[in-house]
Structure formats: C-alpha cells, structure tokens
C-alpha cells in the first residue's frame, strides 16, 4: 500500500463518516446532542429493603457484597445479639450500591435501625468507580433513582478524563458506542442461527447450556476475578487522603448523621493479605487514615482482616467463607458488635 | 500506562511536542529517556529503579569488556547470571516464595513478608534479552560498546518497546539514536497505517474475542467441541493482540523518526514449524536462533564423536524448551516449548527444514492445513489452565453433549468468525489489490471508526459484559 497516496482519501473518508454518523446516530438511538456524559438510570428502583425495614423494624442492618452474603449468618447473629438483624448483601456490589442503599432505602424508611454495619475489604470504601459499569451497571441501576447527581459525578464522571468527557459529549459515534456494540452483538449472536432455524430463545438456551456460571471452575474464576481487582491495590487506591473526598464515603456518613443512624464499618478478612506482614505498608497507612477519619466522624471501625482465629481452612476461595467459616465469623462479629450495640 | 488508553494518548502528545521542539540528538534522546522512565515507572516507580540499576550495570560491564578483553568471558557470564537471575526471580517469584517463607519461618526468621503479593516489574523478559544480545555481541567483538550511557539506557528502556518488545538489537537502534532525527513526512506515513491497524486489532478483535476465549478456558468440564471453538478463538486473539501491540509500538517509534523491527509476517500461512518461527515473534525467534540454536548446533557438530542425529535433535529441543520457559511459568509452557522442539526436529529429520519446497499447489495446501492444525493444537497447550485440565479434555471429555451444547458452541464460533473476517479481508486486499487507494483508504477509515466504537472507557470493568 502507498501510505502517502492513500492518506488523503483515508482522512476524508474518516472525517466524512464521522460527520455522517454525527447527524444520523443521535436520531437513531434517541441521544441528545451534546450527549449527556455518564449512564442514565431508569426510574424503577428496588423498594424491597425499605419495605422490609418498615415492616420488620430490625435493630441491626448489615450492608455488603458476596463476602457478607456468604460470611455472616443473620439468624445466628440475631440470636447472639438478641436483636432482629436484616442483611442486605448484594453480590458484586461496591460502595456505589451501598451509598444508594443508605440514601434511597435506609434514609427514606420510617424506621431507623439502631446500628448499620457496612462490611468491606481493602480500599473499596474509597473506590466509587469500582464495579459500576458493564455487567455491574444493572446492580447500580436497581437501587438508583432517575437522577443521582452525586453518584454520577463520583462513580462515573470522575473516572473519565477530559478527552473522554469531550468525546462522550460531542462525538455521537463515541457516545453511542455501547448501543452500537450491543446491536452488533445481537445481530451476530442471533442472526446466523436464525438462518438455521434457531430463534433467540434457542440461542439463549444454547449459550446458557455452555456458558452458564455453574460450569465455571470456581478456582479459575476466583483467579480471574482476583486479577480484575488489581485496581484496589494501586498506589493511587492506597492514597486515602487523595481519594476520600472524591469517594462516596463522606456521603454515606453524612446520610447516617442526618438520620441519626449509628454506623459501624467492618473490614473483612481475605487470603490476599492474610497477615499483617504480608500487607503492603501503603495498605497499613491507608487503614490507619481510614480509622482516624471514621473516629473523627463518630463511626466505629472493626478490623478482622488479620484475625488469626479466622484460619485459611474457613475459606473456600481467597475471599469467601465456607459454612463453618461463616459460623465462626458470625460469632466473632457478634462479640465485636455487642459493646457497640449496648454500650 | 497501556497504549490504548487516553492517558497514554495525552502522554504521547506531550512527549512528541517536546521531542520535536529541537532537531538535536541530545535533546531528543534526553526527552525520550525521561519519557521512557516516566512511562515504565508510572504506577510503581520502584520498577524504574530496577530497570535503571540493571541497565547501568550492563553498561559498565560492556565498557570493561572492551577494555579488558582477557576478562570478557567472565564479565559476560556475570551479565548472563545477573540478567537471567533477575528474569528468573520475576518469573518464578510466586512459585518459590511460599516454600521460601516456610523455610524462613521454620528457621525463626519470620518469612511472612515473602507472602506479600507485590506487583513485579513488567517487561523484564524483553529488556533482559535486549541487554544480553548486546553483551554477547560486545564480547564477540561484533559491536563496540556504546560510549554514551544515555544512548544505551535509552536503547534498553525505549518506551514503545520496553513492556512487550520487539526485541531490537543494538545494531538496529543505537546507530539511529546516535544521529540527529529530522522530521520527515515519510515518518508519518510509515506510522499512521500501523497505528490504525494496531488499535483495530487490539480494541476490536483481540479484546472482543478474549471475552469468549476466557469463558471457555474457565470451564471445569468443557466438551471438546467447545474447546476447539475456544482454541480457534485464542489463535485469533493472540495474533491480533500481540501483532496489534507490535504495530502500535512500531507506529509510535516512527513518529519519533525511529525505525524498529517487524515482528510478525503472516505466521498462520506457515508451511513448516521452522517457517512458523521465522514469521511469529520474529525478534524473539531470531534471538533464540542467533544466541542459543546456532551456537549449540555448531558446538555439537564440532564434536564428531556424537551420533549423527544428535546435532539435529538436541538444538531445536533445547532452544524451544527455553522458549517455553521464557513465555511463562507452568508445565503447559514447558510442554508447548518441547512440542515445537519435537516438531522442528521431526521435520528436519524428515528432510524438511525452514522452507517447504514443492511445485505442486495441492501439496502446499496440504502442508499449510497440517501446519495450521499443529499451530492450533500448540495454542491449546499454551492456553490450557493446567496439564490436568488439558489431559482431562483430550482424553475424557466427549466431543459434544446435547443439541443445546452444540448450539452454544456454534454461536460462539460464529462470533469468533465475525471478528476474524476483517483481518481476512485485509489480507485479501493486500494480496489482490495492493495498489488500490480506494480499498485501502476505505478499509482504514472503517477500522478507525470501529476502534472508536470499541474503545473501552477508563473504568476497569467496562469490557466485562455478560456473554
């Protein structure tokens, strides 16, 4: 190829196609111009938590992700503490979902629990952009209202740099890329099989039969998920002072303050850094800063991350407890919460 | 920083602007050197310290070699030990840290710190080989050691190459670094097609196919049909990813007026294993050829007492074993390396060396089909999560199970084929209409638009869509 002679045509065609798509795509995908940056949430919102709170009036509410779901037995905790416990464990969630639960469910409920416990690991509390896009977007959308300006800013817009933001606003091809990819994926996934008499349901059954989650090797999946979590352990993530005001943690605390909710943050153990010696110094500094921040704002902090009583046999992968592990941890959590609940 | 990020684009724009402010070698080299170390140490600055230290040690050793020829061999061995030691430590740290921690704890030394999950420096596999080639060539007297520590340090750390190659020789880069570089429009025209294709191959083809391939190889009990689909996907993915990266690397280098080596020459058109290794990751392959294979074979041929076939069999086996070890830890990589060693030795014993000479078209087609199957099988070994998994799939799993299983596998195959089509189309255009401005211009324009559509946002889990 003669690159020098080809370049003018290439440049004109690229510019021309960008111009054409700038006029056609907004109408085709119903996107305004300039396009709004960041995702749009639908008006539907899960109200189950709020309804449960008002119906059962639990004294203790637990919020967390799959570690909480598999790591704490709420009935056992209730028995140990002698109070009703409500567990809102959303597998795959991060601080964005926890913020939404505080804002749209707990703060809106007529019932104010005595204590709200938020379980977390490592630097999750100050990573607002963790697990909010791709397949995790639906989780966030479930608990978000149509308009969530703080969430939009901290979990989405702050993760983009200026060039990306400008491209999202002013280049319709870039703004509409999710829609275009989804459409292309649908056409490829369903188009050819349709010719062979396999409709959408037939294709979906086939995909589920082959790629259903239960077919995945748990250890391999755990490693893959682990690899995807590296953003939690970068120097930037460890910079607590640099991250905290950009995160949703101040908002969670503010909402709790306004409603008179007492907060407890519980750091869970993982086998990523099972002992203090294996933990990077930067992580230790982060935790010291986090603890001081929470104490200054009247929130409690319980740290089980290096608890030697939580042995490695209690884990079935790097993060999640076995049934026996959950029993052991629930007892320890109850011991930790008892003096806070009834000082 | 990754090449396909907005962060890198901003970095590149700044570096290019500063670089071309003055058409003077020293200014340009200082700019590139500073940029290379900023690039390499962007997330973990201590990685840049390791790079700098190992580079300066080799610079000093090479200078000493030239001044004290009688000590050249000893100094070379010192460099080999240091470079391979660093490489071995980085590659095998997480295989040895647990037993080492046990030993240290048992000895009362408190070995827990060895269990810390640190992020080890990237690119050591590449820059260690770069430096070793230089040191060997200096010891042989093939090249003189660089008098400029800045040029040598830049040669090793040159940011378009430092993470994943190409593994350029000093003979290629150092002379260019020793000259002033004037802006020429030819640089831009060498760069833009590489940059467009690099972005397209990585963002559109490799990243899309990877999602499907990863799902296949995460399965505990896949059928053989699904594994076949997965490995065909991986065959596409690894070529698109690696050659795309090389295209970006070369394109970026051209923007600085520096020409770097090609790394891929249509490897899936190979007719023999030797041919494959003359087309796949060429800079690495030629490194092995020049610094392992040829010296070993020469040494064995000189030993007349050895049986006839030994000099044919041992060099490829040993060389490809090293290749496997270089590519990764784990027995699958060792097996993959040995697999190609056996193939090369086998073809050579059968009288077929690098090129396949045949006048008959159908023989060439047959040779290609056989070689393609061998390549795909090799990638299966390479990508398998473990030897146990591989054995289980090959020996115990059924080819397919239910009709739904067949449907799901074929849908995945259709999606992989969809992403292979553009690369096939490019090959056809290059072959049948190499001078057509309209076809090439249109192709590159559509590839650019596709790259914009497939660009992932800076959020890390953007691509993780439900398959």
The DSSP line for B80-133 is HHHHHHHHHHHHHHHHHHHHHHHHHHHTTS--GGGG----PPSSHHHHHHHHHH
- Judged by a CB distance cut-off of 8 A, whether residue A19 touches chain B is no
Q: Return residues 422-461 of B near A (CB < 8 Å).
A: 430, 434-435, 437-438, 440-442, 444-446, 448-449, 452-455, 457-461
**Which 189-208 residues of chain B touch chain A by CB within 8 A?**
189-190, 192-193
User: Best mutation site among B6, B458, B461 for testing chain A: the one with the most A CBs within 10 Å?
Assistant: B461
Same domain, A89 and A24: no
| Chain A residue with Cα closest to B196 | A10
The tally of domains found in chain A comes to 2
Q: How far is A80 from chain B (nearest CA, A)?
A: 34
This model of the complex carries an ipTM of 0.87
Q: Quick check: B122 pLDDT over 90?
A: no
CA–centroid distance for B365 within its chain: 28
- The answer on A285 and A234 residing in a single domain is yes
Q: What is the pLDDT of residue B112?
A: 62
Q: Which region among A80-89, B65-74, B94-103 has the lowest average model confidence (pLDDT)?
A: B94-103
Same domain? For A293 and A176 the reply is: no
Mutate to test the interface with A, among B116, B189, B195, B429 (most CBs of A within 10 A): B116
CA–CA gap between residue A291 and residue A299 (Å, rounded): 9
Q: Which of A196, A215, A234 is at the close of a domain?
A: A215
Q: Which of B47, B199, B443, B453 is best to mutate for the A interface (most A CBs within 10 A)?
A: B453
Chain B hits for A9, Cβ within 8 Å: 437-438, 441-442
Bigger pLDDT: B400 vs B34? B34
Residues B342 and A293: their CA atoms lie apart, in Å, by 62
pLDDT-derived band at B37 (thresholds 50, 70, 90) equals: very high
Which residues are CB-contacts of A268 (< 8 A; sequence separation ≥ 6)?
A64, A67, A68, A71, A119, A120, A121, A304, A305
Report d(CA B416, CA B436) in Å as an integer.
Answer: 28
The verdict on whether B327 is a catalytic residue reads yes
Q: What is the pTM of this model?
A: 0.88
Let me know if residue A333 belongs to a domain.
yes
Looking at residue B356, what is its pLDDT? Answer: 67
pLDDT at position B355 over 70: no
A72-107 per-position pLDDT tens digit: 999 999 999 999 999 999 999 999 999 999 999 999
Q: Enter the tokens of residue B384.
A: 């398998």
Largest Cα–Cα distance of chain B, in whole Å? 73
Helix or strand or coil: residue B211? helix
User: Do residue A206 and residue B430 have CB atoms under 8 angstroms apart?
Assistant: no
- Chain B: give the shortest CA distance to residue A168, in Å: 10
pLDDT of residue B419: 95
Handedness of CA A294, A296, A298, A302 (dihedral sign): positive
Q: Which of A5, A6, A182 to mutate to test the interface with B (most CBs of B within 10 A)?
A: A6
Check CB contact under 8 Å for A206 and B7.
Answer: no
- B156 vs B138: CA distance, rounded Å: 15
Would you state the structure tokens that stand for residue A322, as one six-digit string?
A: 């076995």
Domain match, A283 and A328 both = yes
Assess whether A233 and A326 both reside in one domain.
yes
* pLDDT given at position B462: 31
Q: Is residue A220 part of a domain?
A: no
pLDDT more than 90, % of chain B? 70
Closest chain B residue by Cα to residue A182: B465
Interface of B with A in 396-425 (CB under 8 A): 402, 404-412, 414-415, 418
* Residue B465: band (very low, low, confident or very high) from pLDDT cuts 50, 70, 90: very low
Q: For the sheet containing A262-267, what is the strand order?
A: A85-89, A60-64, A115-120, A262-267, A300-303
CATH number at residue A295: 3.40.50.1110
Write out pLDDT tens, residues B9-23: 999 999 999 999 988
Which portions of chain A are predicted below pLDDT 50? none
Of B218, B464, B465, the CB nearest to A221: B218
- Separation of first and last alpha carbons in chain B: 27
pLDDT of residue A263: 97
Rounded to 10°, the helix A177-195/B403-432 angle is 110
Q: Please report where in the chains the tokens 């087609």 appear, as a residue.
A: B365
All residues at 6 or more sequence positions from A96 whose CB lies less than 8 Å from its CB, including other chains: A128, A129, A130, A131, A132, A140, A151, A155, A248
* Cα–Cα distance measured from residue A292 to residue A19, given in angstroms and rounded to the nearest whole number: 53
Start-to-end C-alpha separation, chain A = 79
- A152 and A173: one domain? no
Query: Which domain does A179 fall in, by range?
Result: 3-41+167-215
Using the Cβ of A172 and the Cβ atoms of chain B, whether some distance falls under 8 Å is answered with: no
Asked if B189 and A161 come within 8 Å (Cβ–Cβ), the reply is: no
Residue A9 lies in a domain: yes
As beta bridge partners, residue A88 has: A63
Alpha-helical segments (H) within B258-402: 273-277, 282-288, 294-302, 310-327, 331-349, 361-383, 387-395
Dihedrals phi, psi of A315, to nearest 5 degrees: -110, 140
Specify whether A197 is located in the same domain as A211. Answer: yes
Q: Residue A186's closest chain B neighbor by CA?
A: B415
Structure tokens, B167: 């593994």
In-domain check, residue A84: yes
Closest residue in chain A to residue B209, using alpha carbons only? A185
- For B88, counting Cβ atoms within 10 Å of its Cβ (0-12 exposed, 13-18 middle, 19+ buried), the class is middle
Q: Locate the domains of chain B by residue range.
A: 6-170, 187-461
CB nearest A209 (choices: B6, B217, B404): B404
Among residues 193-252 of chain A, which lie with CB inside 8 Å of chain B?
193, 198, 202-203, 205-211, 215-218, 220-221, 224, 228, 230-231, 233-235
Q: Which residues fall within 8 angstroms of residue A252, CB to CB, at 6 or more apart?
A: A95, A98, A99, A102, A118, A263
Question: Is A86 within 8 Å of A58 (Cβ atoms)?
Answer: yes
Distances, alpha carbon A330 to alpha carbons A116, A119, A121, A325, B180, in Å = 16, 12, 16, 8, 69
- Residues in chain A closer than 8 A to B465 (CB atoms): 134-135, 185
CA–CA dist B320, B336 (Å, integer): 8
Task: Determine which one of B189, B281, B327, B392 is catalytic.
Answer: B327
Q: Assess whether A7 and A89 both reside in one domain.
A: no
pLDDT at B400: 87
Give B192-232 pLDDT, tens digit per residue. 999 999 999 999 999 999 989 998 998 888 999 999 999 99
Q: What is the pLDDT of residue B188?
A: 96
Q: Torsion over CA of B202, B203, B208 and B214, rounded to 10 degrees?
A: 50
pLDDT at residue B115, as a whole number: 60
H/E element, A111: none
Give the pLDDT score at B107. Answer: 76
- Distance CA(B287)–CA(B326), nearest Å, equals 12
Chain A closest-CA separation from residue B444 CA (Å)? 6
**Residue B457's pLDDT band (cuts 50, 70, 90):** low
**Coil, strand or helix at A332:** helix
- Quickly count: other Cβ atoms within 10 Å of residue B147's Cβ: 10
**B282-291, B355-364, B401-410: range with lowest mean pLDDT:** B355-364
Are residues B224 and B399 in contact, defined by beta-carbon separation less than 8 angstroms?
Answer: yes
**B43 chain-A contacts, CB cut-off 8 A:** 234-235
């Amino acid at each position: 190829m003669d690159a020098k002679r080809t370049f003018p045509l290439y440049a004109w065609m690229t510019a021309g196609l960008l111009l054409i798509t700038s006029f056609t795509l907004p109408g085709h995908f119903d996107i305004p111009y300039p396009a709004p940056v960041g995702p749009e949430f639908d008006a539907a919102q899960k109200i189950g938590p709020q309804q449960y709170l008002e119906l059962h009036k639990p004294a203790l509410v637990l919020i967390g992700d799959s570690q909480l779901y598999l790591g704490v037995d709420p009935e056992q905790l209730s028995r140990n503490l002698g109070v009703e416990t409500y567990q809102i464990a959303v597998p795959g969630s991060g601080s964005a979902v926890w913020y939404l639960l505080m804002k749209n469910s707990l703060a809106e409920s007529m019932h104010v629990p005595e204590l709200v416990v938020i379980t977390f690991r490592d630097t999750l509390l100050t990573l607002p952009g963790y697990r909010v896009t791709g397949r995790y977007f639906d989780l966030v959308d479930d608990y978000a209202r149509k308009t969530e300006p703080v969430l939009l800013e901290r979990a989405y817009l702050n993760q983009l740099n200026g060039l990306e933001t400008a491209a999202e606003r002013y280049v319709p091809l870039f703004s509409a890329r999710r829609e275009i990819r989804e459409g292309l994926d649908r056409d490829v996934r369903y188009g050819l099989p349709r010719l062979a008499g396999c409709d959408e349901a037939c294709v979906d059954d086939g995909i589920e039969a082959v790629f259903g989650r239960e077919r995945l090797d748990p250890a391999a999946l755990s490693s893959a998920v682990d690899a995807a979590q590296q953003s939690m352990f970068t120097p930037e993530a460890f910079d607590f002072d640099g991250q905290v005001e950009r995160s949703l943690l101040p908002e969670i605390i503010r909402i709790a303050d306004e409603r008179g909710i007492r907060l407890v943050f519980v750091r869970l153990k993982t086998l990523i850094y099972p002992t203090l010696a294996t933990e990077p110094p930067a992580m230790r500094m982060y935790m010291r800063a986090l603890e001081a921040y929470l104490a200054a704002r009247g929130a409690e902090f319980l740290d089980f991350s290096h608890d030697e009583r939580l042995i490695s046999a209690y884990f079935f992968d790097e993060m999640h407890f076995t049934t026996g592990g959950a029993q052991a941890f629930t007892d320890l959590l109850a011991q930790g919460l008892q003096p806070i609940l009834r000082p | 920083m990754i090449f396909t990020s907005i962060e890198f684009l901003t970095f590149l724009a700044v570096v290019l602007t500063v670089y071309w402010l003055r058409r003077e070698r020293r200014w340009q080299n200082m700019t590139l050197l500073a940029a290379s170390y900023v690039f390499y140490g962007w997330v973990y600055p201590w990685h840049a310290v390791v790079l700098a230290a190992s580079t300066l040690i080799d610079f000093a050793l090479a200078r000493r070699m030239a001044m004290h020829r009688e000590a050249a061999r000893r100094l070379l061995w010192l460099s080999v030990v240091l470079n391979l030691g660093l490489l071995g430590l980085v590659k095998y740290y997480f295989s040895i840290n647990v037993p080492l921690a046990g030993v240290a704890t048992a000895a009362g030394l408190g070995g827990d710190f060895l269990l810390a999950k640190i992020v080890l420096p990237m690119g050591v596999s590449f820059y260690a080989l770069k430096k070793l080639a230089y040191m060997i060539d200096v010891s042989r007297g093939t090249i003189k050691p660089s008098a400029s520590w800045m040029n040598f340090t830049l040669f090793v750390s040159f940011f378009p190459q430092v993470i994943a190659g190409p593994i350029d020789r000093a003979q290629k880069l150092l002379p260019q670094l020793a000259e002033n570089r004037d802006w020429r429009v030819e640089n831009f025209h060498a760069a833009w097609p590489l940059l467009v294709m690099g972005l397209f191959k990585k963002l559109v083809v490799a990243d899309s196919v990877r999602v499907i391939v990863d799902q296949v190889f995460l399965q505990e009990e896949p059928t053989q049909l699904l594994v076949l689909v997965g490995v065909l996907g991986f065959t596409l993915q690894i070529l698109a990813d690696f050659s795309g990266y090389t295209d970006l690397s070369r394109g970026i280098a051209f923007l600085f007026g520096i020409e770097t080596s090609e790394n891929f020459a249509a490897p899936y058109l190979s007719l023999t294993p030797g041919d494959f290794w003359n087309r796949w990751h060429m800079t690495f392959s030629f490194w092995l050829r020049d610094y392992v294979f040829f010296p070993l074979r020469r040494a064995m041929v000189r030993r007349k007492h050895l049986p006839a076939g030994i000099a044919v069999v041992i060099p490829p086996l040993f060389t490809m074993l090293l290749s496997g070890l270089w590519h990764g830890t784990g027995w699958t990589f060792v097996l993959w390396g040995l697999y190609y060693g056996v193939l090369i030795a086998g073809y050579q014993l059968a009288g077929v060396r690098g090129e396949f000479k045949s006048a008959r078209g159908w023989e060439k087609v047959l040779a290609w089909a056989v070689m393609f199957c061998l390549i795909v099988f090799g990638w299966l070994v390479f990508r398998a999560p473990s030897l146990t998994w591989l054995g289980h799939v090959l020996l115990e799993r059924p080819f397919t199970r239910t009709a739904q299983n067949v449907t799901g596998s074929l849908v995945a195959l259709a999606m992989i084929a969809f992403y292979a089509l553009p690369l096939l189309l490019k090959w056809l255009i290059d072959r049948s209409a190499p001078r057509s401005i309209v076809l090439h211009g249109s192709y590159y324009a559509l590839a650019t638009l596709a790259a914009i559509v497939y660009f992932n946002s800076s959020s890390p889990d953007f691509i993780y869509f439900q398959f």
